[in-house]
Chain A
Amino acid sequence: MTDHPRPRVRAHLRPGRIAGHGVLALGVLVFAFPFYWLLVIATNSTSDILAGPPRLLPGTHFLDNFEKVTAGSEFVRAFANSVVLTAGSSALQLLLAALAGYVFAKRRFPGRGALFSALLVTLIIPTGVSIVPSYQIYSGLGWTNTFLPLVVPNAVTAFGVFWMRQAAEANVPDELVDAARMDGAGFLRTFWSVALPCMRPALVAFGIFQVMWTWNDYLWPLLVLNRPENFTLPVALQQLTGSYGPTDYSVVMAGTLVATLPLLVLFLILRRTVLLNASDGALKG
C-alpha cells in the first residue's frame, strides 16, 4: 500500500492533513465521551451527583456503589452466568461450524453442492423474530429458565458454516489432508489435528464476534430467563434500572461499568484481529 512512489502532487494536501487529524480527533472525543461519563457516574456517589454542581471528574466511590449493586441483586451470579453461557455457547458454535465448514470445503460426497446451496438460501431467512412460536416451543420443551433456548437453536448457524467453509477452502491445503490420510489418520483425527490448526486465524476472529454477540444478547435472555438466579448480565442490568429508579445512576452505572469492562479489555487485546475481520463479521446482517 505504501511501497510504490508517491507523486509529488500530494504535497499540497498538508494543511488538509492537519484538518483531517482535527476532524478525527474531535470525533474520537465525542465517541469516547459516553465511556468517560460512565466512569464519572460510576465512581461518584449519587448524592454528590444530585447535589450538583455537575461532576465532571471520576470520584472515589466506585466500591461503595458496586457494593450496593451486589447487595441489592444477584449481580455476581449474573456475571458468572454470562461467562459460562458465552464460553459454552461460543465454543460449541466454533466447533460445529468448523466441522461442517471443513466437510463442505474439503470432503467430496453426493449432494454436497445441493446441501451447501440450501444452506446459503437459509442465510436470508431470519429466525427468532417471530417471538411467540419460538417461545411456545421452548416452553413446551420445558426449556424456560434454562440456557438451552439460548444455546441449542444457535448451536450452528448458516453464517458460521459459511465463514468456516471459506476459511477451510483458503487455509487447509489438500496435500496436508491427503498426507494425513496416507498416514492412517481417520476422519475426526484429520479434522482435529490437521484442519483445525490451519483454520486458527478464522476461528479466533469468528470466536471474538461470537463472544461479543452472546455476551450482549438481550431479547431472548429477557424472554426465557425469569428468575434472578438465571439472569445474564444485560437482563440483570435492565432489572437494576427498574429497581433503583431512573435517578440512582451511580449504582446502575457501577454495574454497567463492570458488565462492559471484560469485552472492552478483550477487544483491546485482540483488536488487530477484530478490525481485520470486521467486514466478514458484518456480513451476518
Chain B
Amino acid sequence: MSPSKPGSPGILRSHWRDYASVAPFFLLFAAFGLVPLLYALYLSTQSWDGIGEPESVGLDQWTRLFHTPDVLTAAGNTALIFLLGQIPVVVGALLAAVILSQARLKFRALYQTAFFLPQVTSVVAVTIVFQSLFADKYGFVNNILDTLGLPAQDWLTDPWKMRAVIAMMVIWRGFGYFLILFMAGISAIDRSLGEAAQLDGAGPVRVFRSITLPLLAPTMIFVTLTGAIAGMQIFTEPQVLFGGSGGPNNGGLTMMLLQYEYLGGIGSSGTVQLVKPDLGFAAVIGWVIFTALVLLALANNRLLRKSFGGR
C-alpha cells in the first residue's frame, strides 16, 4: 500500500494507527508478563521474608527444591488430583458425547445445557457446596451412607478422599466443556464412514472402537493437555476447602498453594502462617510451575499441528 521502505520514517507516519492498535498487547505483555519472569529469576537468588532486608543466597533456593519434602508432596498431589479427575471425565464425557451425537436425538440441547451449567459457577461457590455435601457431620453424602447403614467417611481429612473430593469438583465443573469438545470432534468425523461399516455388519461397539475412537485421538490429546495445564494451576479448590492450607497431612497441598504459603499470607487476612515466608523460594516454585506449563503448551501445539496439518 504505502511505497515507503521498511525502516524509513514514512512508515511510522502512514501506519502509526496500525501500530498503535496492536501495541497495547505487546507493551502489556512486556510489562506484566516478561518483566515479572525476569524479576522472579533475580528473586530466586534471594532469601527474603518480605519485611526485612533480602539476602543473596546464590542457588540455594533452587537446591532447596530437592530437600523440601513439601515440594514432592505438592507435586504428587497436583499430579494425582489431575489424574483422579481427568480419567473419569474423559471416559464419561466421551460416552455422553457418543450418545448425544446420535442423529435425531430428542432433548439434545437440554442435555448439553444441563451438563454445561456447572462451568458457569465460580470455583469458590462450588467448593462451598461440595464442602457441605462431603462434611463429616450433617454432610449430605454421609447422611445417605448412614441411611443405607454404611459407615460415614472422613471425606475431608483422609488424604485420598480429600483428593477425590477435589477431583470430583474438577469433574463436575469441567464435564460440559469436555462433552462439547468431544461432540465437535465426533461431528467432524465423516458420518458415511460409520454407516458404511454398519452396512458391512459392524455393530455399534465395533464402529466406536475402530472408527470413532481412532479419529478422536487429536481431540483426546487436546483435552488431556489443556486439562493438564489447568490441573497444574489448581489452587482455589483446596485453598477454600481447607481454609488456606493443604488440609490435614497436606493431602490437598498443590504446587500453586505451596507457592501461596511461602508468600506468608500476602493477600487475604485470616490465613495461618504454615511455613516461614520466603519470597525467594516462592519465586522458585513459580518458575517450576511456569516451566511445566510451557512444556505442556509446547507439546499441545506440536501435537495439534501434527494432527490438524498446520491449521
By the criterion CB–CB under 8 Å, are A153 and B32 in contact? Answer: yes
Q: Could you tell me which residues of chain B, from 142 to 186, have a CB within 8 Å of some CB in chain A? A: 143, 172, 175-177, 180-181, 184
Let me know if B263 and A126 touch, CB within 8 A.
no
A176 located at the interface, meaning its Cβ lies under 8 Å from any Cβ of chain B in the complex:
no
Closest Cβ neighbor of A233 among chain B residues: B122
Judged by a CB distance under 8 angstroms, whether A117 is at the interface is no
Judge whether A247 is part of the interface by a CB distance below 8 angstroms: yes
* Complex interface residues of chain B between 268 and 300 (CB less than 8 A to chain A): 268-270, 279, 282-283, 286-287, 289-290, 293-294, 297-298, 300
A87-125 near B? 1/0 per residue, CB < 8 Å: 000000000100110111001111110010011001111
Contact across chains for B283 and A246 when beta carbons are under 8 A apart? no
Q: Are B114 and A28 in contact (CB under 8 A)?
A: yes
Size class of the contact patch on chain A: 35 or more
Contact check, A132 vs B121: say whether CB atoms are below 8 A apart: no
Quick check: A131 and B121 within 8 Å, CB to CB? no
A-B pairs with beta carbons under 8 Å apart, 8 shown: A24-B99, A24-B100, A126-B233, A136-B36, A136-B39, A215-B122, A253-B129, A282-B177
B130-148 interface with A by 8 A CB criterion: 130-133, 135, 137-138, 140, 143
Instruction: Name the contact of B138 in the complex, choosing from A6, A52, A129, A133 (C-beta under 8 A).
Output: A52
Note all chain B residues with C-beta closer than 8 A to A193.
none
Interface residues of A in 119-159 (CB under 8 A from B): 119, 122-137, 152-153, 155-158
Q: For B289, list chain A residues within 8 Å (CB).
A: 129-130
Q: Are A252 and B128 in contact (CB under 8 A)?
A: yes
CB distance from A26 to the nearest CB of B (A): 11
Q: Does B307 contact A (CB under 8 A)?
A: no
Q: Is the interface on chain B under 10, 10 to 19, 20 to 34, or 35 or more residues?
A: 35 or more
Q: A234 vs B126: C-alpha distance in the bound complex, in angstroms?
A: 11
CB distance from A281 to the nearest CB of B (A): 8
CB-defined contacts of B229 to chain A, threshold 8 Å: 126, 285
Min CB distance A14 to B, Å, is 11
Extra pairs beyond A27-B92, A188-B17 (15, CB < 8 Å): A7-B195, A24-B99, A31-B115, A37-B129, A104-B22, A110-B6, A124-B297, A129-B290, A156-B28, A216-B121, A216-B124, A241-B243, A242-B243, A247-B138, A256-B129
Contact (Cβ within 8 A) A279 B184: yes
> Most chain-B Cβ atoms within 10 A of its Cβ — which of A2, A10, A235?
A10
| Contact indicator per residue, chain A 245-256, by CB within 8 Å of chain B (1) or not (0) | 011010011001
Which residues of A sit under 8 angstroms from B119, Cβ to Cβ?
A: 212
CB–CB A28/B199 < 8 A: no
B214 CB to closest chain A CB (Å) equals: 20
Residues of B within 8 A of A (CB): 1-2, 6, 11, 15, 17-19, 21-22, 24-26, 28-29, 31-33, 35-37, 39-40, 43, 92, 95-96, 99-100, 102-107, 109, 111-126, 128-133, 135, 137-138, 140, 143, 172, 175-177, 180-181, 184, 187, 195, 198-199, 204, 225-226, 229-230, 233, 235-236, 239-240, 243, 256, 259-260, 263, 266-270, 279, 282-283, 286-287, 289-290, 293-294, 297-298, 300-301
Residue of B nearest to A40 (CB): B140
- Is A73 interfacial (CB 8 A cutoff)? no
Q: Is A259 an interface residue (CB 8 A)?
A: yes
Interchain CB contact (< 8 A) of B124 among A103, A223, A234: A234
Task: Tell me whether B15 and A110 are in contact (CB under 8 A).
Answer: yes
A1-27, CB < 8 A from B? 1-2, 6-7, 9-10, 13, 16-17, 20-21, 23-24, 27
Closest chain A CB from B146 CB (angstroms): 9
Which residues of the partner chain B approach A199 to less than 8 Å between Cβ atoms?
none
Q: Is the CB of A260 within 8 A of B125?
A: yes
Q: Which of B29, B102, B198 has the most CB of A within 10 A?
A: B29
Say yes or no: A130 contacts B37, CB within 8 Å.
Answer: yes
Which residue of chain A has its CB nearest to the CB of B116? A275
Q: Is A226 an interface residue (CB 8 A)?
A: yes
Q: Which residue of A lies closest to B128 (CB)?
A: A256
Contact code string A28-49 (vs B, CB < 8 Å = 1, else 0): 1001101101100100000001
Across the interface, name the chain B residue whose C-beta is closest to A52. B138
- Please determine whether A34 and B126 come into contact, CB atoms closer than 8 angstroms: yes
Whether A131 contacts B124 by the Cβ 8 Å rule is no
A268 on the B face (CB < 8 A) = yes
Alpha-carbon separation in the docked complex, A153 to B233 (Å) = 19
Contact A100 B21 (CB under 8 A): yes
- Contact check, A260 vs B122: say whether CB atoms are below 8 A apart: yes
- Residues of the B chain whose Cβ atoms lie less than 8 Å from the Cβ of A122: 29, 33
